Amino acid sequence: METEYSRVPDELFGEFLERMPQICVELVVETDAGVLLCKRETKPRVWFWPGSRLYKGEQLDTAANRVAADELGIAVRLQEQLGIHSHFWDDTETPEGVSRHTVNVVYRVVPDGEFEIELDDQHSEFRFLTEPEPGLHEYVREYLDTYDLLEGA
């Protein structure tokens, strides 16, 4: 099957989101500096994991590599698929103005060699987290707790 990368018109995409969960791939990027969080410029405007929807016909591993390249400007080595999570976003938290249910396939990855983060337009900043801190989004805390991500930091 060929991968379908074309943009879905906003109205149709909104209808889809009102009726069905959206499959996404998220990355936990581990480095010597800590785990990477990016500040989203699109709703929800929070510090979060890099991630994107899965395209029709796209393999999960391919999507993980695409997310790293498109959102962070880096190549990564996939370490493992950590698990699958569901996220529920209120309509005020989404660009489309409809509630969203995402099913997220989470990968642990490391940069492939030397790297320099170059964020895409949907992110304004990045930082490396070395220990849990107050105010983290509940889904960031969920991954930190579930996978002991900062255990070695």
Span 50-65, pLDDT tens digits: 999 999 999 999 999 9
- Cα–Cα distance, 121 to 54 (Å, whole number): 19
- Global pTM reads 0.93
pLDDT for res 93: 87
* 52 contacts 66 by C-beta, under 8 angstroms: yes
Span 63-85, pLDDT tens digits: 999 999 999 999 999 999 999 99
pLDDT for res 73: 98
Q: 153: pLDDT confidence band, cut at 50, 70 and 90?
A: very low
Query: Burial of 21 by CB count in 10 Å (0-12 exposed, 13-18 middle, 19+ buried)?
Result: middle
